[in-house]
Amino acid sequence: MLLALSLPQASRPGPSRTPAAAEDPLAPAARARAAGDFVTARRLYERALAADPKNGRAAVGLAETLNDLKEFAAARELSERLVASLPDRPEPPRALARALLGLGRAKEAVEQAGRAVALDANDLDARRLLAVAEIASGEPGRAVAELERVLAARPKDRAALRALAGAYAAVGDARAEAAYQKLLAADPRDASAREELAKYLWQERRYDDGNAQMDRVLEAFPGDAKRRAAYGMELAGQGRFGGAARQLDAARRLGEESGDLLFYLGSALWEVGRLDEAEKWLREAARRNPEGVAPLHRLGRLLVFRGKAADAIEPLSRAAERAPASADVRLDLGRALEAAGKIPEAEAAYRKALELEPDLSVTHYTLGMLLARSGRREEAQTHIALYRDHYQKEQEARFRAGARQAELNLGWTELAAGRAPNALEQFSRFPDDAQGLRGSAAALSKLGRHSDAVKALERALLLAPDDPVLRYELDRERSAGGSP
């Protein structure tokens, strides 16, 4: 147990001293750590502590070095003891915050980093750490001011700039792109920054721009299988299945053969009509993920699509066993059974699907048609009527959702074009919608009506109290309007 530890007060103002001729005994450890030789740094700090167990600097250096080595549990244990022994020093809670972040305990890290900042408001490393912890805890908006303060004092702090870019991106602040571009201007080879920029652009639905950034990353790292796999999955999500298949197959050839990758590869190949290859890789995906449902389900659907209904029954039955609450799986199993001539079993599967999800229109239709072909016309007509009723409701819901999104998109387009009054008119059609209110606030802000923008964001937060973007924009709008 470390007791009565002490740290010098060098970071606090005081009278100047004449430097001692002898080198600081901890300097070699600090140099090793600065050079990235953490194993040597650890050994030197441990040696210093063995010689002087009350040496607080050595203990803090060791705690930070354990963090560098990603030995977060050990770093946490030592840092907690240091916090107890040195309650008035910022270094121990700062080290503890790093350890807690490494252990995935972000909210506790925020508390400890905040404690370090309270003990030394000029500790920029503690402020940066506090911001990173806030981002990790789901509060990126709170991180922005801290990071901007750090960068005002240390403009070349790349770690702070990267964190700020990420915080901007997380809250949808358009300054994210400029921050990432600043990182890349300083180092065009920074693939991680370029990849993060690509993700931000995808988030903003600027798919071509994001894809161009990711293409440059892969030009620099053509053998990076994991990046190719992630890019392929992103392209599949964009509906660009040809590109997705190319990237996923390239990743597979480079050695990335997880069940998830093969599932996405098989699905993309199906979309572009390469059915033999799609079946091959979906079968392999199912084999590699014996507990999974999605590969078996997708394989079964492909086999039905290819006219191999009898072959589809086995994977769909296994999927139904693993996902007993899935109406979709039961529906597709029924289709396979019906196509294979197993009518009673198909009817049972359809009825089970309806039991699980009574309002699913397509199941009423499928069961109704089976009953009609079986001569049970009265019951068939009942299900066809239910199909029409549920289908109409589904279409109306889709239409309303699509119309709402189209109106909101038009509002953002008008705002981007500098037509704030037109944008406000669009957004004002959704006074009980959090995103509509957010758009109204943005338009009101452009018109200089900051107090009205604040009111709109306050109403939006009542509808979506856990939305960090709304909280961030409300704080900015209050500042712009001079409100506390």
Q: Per-residue pLDDT averaged across 171-181, rounded?
A: 94
pLDDT > 90 in the chain, percent: 85
Per residue in 187-209, pLDDT tens?
999 999 999 999 999 998 899 99
Give the pLDDT score at 403. Answer: 87
Residues forming a β-bridge with 6: 55
Compute the distance between CA of residue 233 and CA of residue 239 in angstroms, rounded to an integer.
10
Q: Per-residue pLDDT averaged across 417-441, rounded?
A: 94
Neighbours of 259 (CB within 10 A): 18
Q: How confident is the model at residue 15 (pLDDT cuts 50, 70, 90)?
A: very low
Per residue in 447-469, pLDDT tens?
999 999 999 999 999 999 988 88
Per residue in 113-140, pLDDT tens?
999 999 999 999 999 999 999 999 999 9
Q: How confident is the model at residue 408 (pLDDT cuts 50, 70, 90)?
A: very high
Does residue 21 register a pLDDT over 80?
no
Give the pLDDT score at 22. Answer: 64
Give the pLDDT score at 285. Answer: 95
Q: How confident is the model at residue 482 (pLDDT cuts 50, 70, 90)?
A: low
Q: How confident is the model at residue 14 (pLDDT cuts 50, 70, 90)?
A: very low
Does residue 175 register a pLDDT over 90?
yes
Does residue 483 register a pLDDT over 80?
no
Q: How confident is the model at residue 257 (pLDDT cuts 50, 70, 90)?
A: confident
3-class DSSP string for the chain = CCCCCECCCCCCCCCCCCCCCCCCCCHHHHHHHHCCCHHHHHHHHHHHHHHCCCEHHHHHHHHHHHHHCCCHHHHHHHHHHHHHHCCCCCHHHHHHHHHHHHCCCHHHHHHHHHHHHHHCCCCHHHHHHHHHHHHHCCCHHHHHHHHHHHHHHCCCCHHHHHHHHHHHHHCCCCHHHHHHHHHHHHCCCCHHHHHHHHHHHHHCCCHHHHHHHHHHHHHHCCCCHHHHHHHHHHHHHCCCHHHHHHHHHHHHHCCCCCHHHHHHHHHHHHHCCCHHHHHHHHHHHHHHCCCCCHHHHHHHHHHHHCCCHHHHHHHHHHHHHHCCCCHHHHHHHHHHHHHCCCHHHHHHHHHHHHHHCCCCHHHHHHHHHHHHHCCCHHHHHHHHHHHHHHHHHHHHHHHHHHHHHHHHHHHHHHHHCCCHHHHHHHHCCCCCCHHHHHHHHHHHHHCCCHHHHHHHHHHHHHHCCCCHHHHHHHHHHHHHCCCC
Q: Round the average pLDDT of the chain to a whole number and report it.
A: 92
pLDDT > 70 in the chain, percent: 95
Compute the distance between CA of residue 251 and CA of residue 245 in angstroms, rounded to an integer.
10
Give the pLDDT score at 3. Answer: 45
Q: How confident is the model at residue 400 (pLDDT cuts 50, 70, 90)?
A: confident
For the chain, the residue count is: 484
Lowest mean pLDDT among 19-23, 113-117, 250-254, 390-394: 19-23
Residue that wins the pLDDT comparison between 483 and 3: 483
Per residue in 345-388, pLDDT tens?
999 999 999 999 999 899 999 999 999 999 999 999 999 999 99
* Interior angle at CA 363, CA 360 and CA 368, nearest 5: 130
